[in-house]
Amino acid sequence: DIEMTQSPDSLSVSLGERATINCKSGQTLLHSFDNRNYLAWYQQRPGQPPKLLISWASTRESGVPDRFGGGGSGTDFTLTINGLQAEDVAVYYCQQYFSIPLTFGGGTRVEIK
């Protein structure tokens, strides 16, 4: 199984500031045959199911604000929220889909400072 490790566990950010979440995989998620990173990011607001934000490490889903950005390659990835808004308070998860079983990171809680 590919282990996914997120850091920090939680962070407090002022409104309008940047939040950066890290995700590290136990093995590379970069597939050699298509040169794509098999990583997704989700947002889970309180009392709601996860919502897909980003796939292929950096491709935003339709309707996701452009203040959300995904980066990284191989084993190290980041989710950046530029200009944090109140509605961004949530837990964020990374998920690898390089191989079965699909696995998720432990989550990073983002709060307003």
Partner 1 sequence: QVQLQESGPGLVKPSETLSLTCAVSGFSISQGFYWGWIRQSPAKGLEWIGHIHHSGIVDYTPSLKSRVTITVDTSKNEFSLTLTSVTATDTAVYFCARRSSGYDEQYFDSWGRGTLVIVSS
Residues that bind partner 1 (CB under 8 A): 1, 34, 38, 40, 42, 48-52, 55, 61, 93, 95, 97, 100-107
Residue 7: CB minimum distance to partner 1, A: 14
Q: How far apart are CA 17 and CA 95, in angstroms?
A: 25
Comparison of 18 and 31: residue with beta carbon closer to partner 1: 31
For the CB of residue 57, give the shortest distance to partner 1 in the complex, in Å. 11
Name the residue nearer to partner 1 (CB basis): 84 or 105: 105
Structure tokens at 51: 């919502």
In this structure, what DSSP letter does residue 17 have?
S
Number of neighbours of residue 94 by Cβ within 10 angstroms: 30
CA angle (105, 29, 33) in 5-degree steps? 155
Residue 15 CB, shortest distance to partner 1, in Å, is: 27
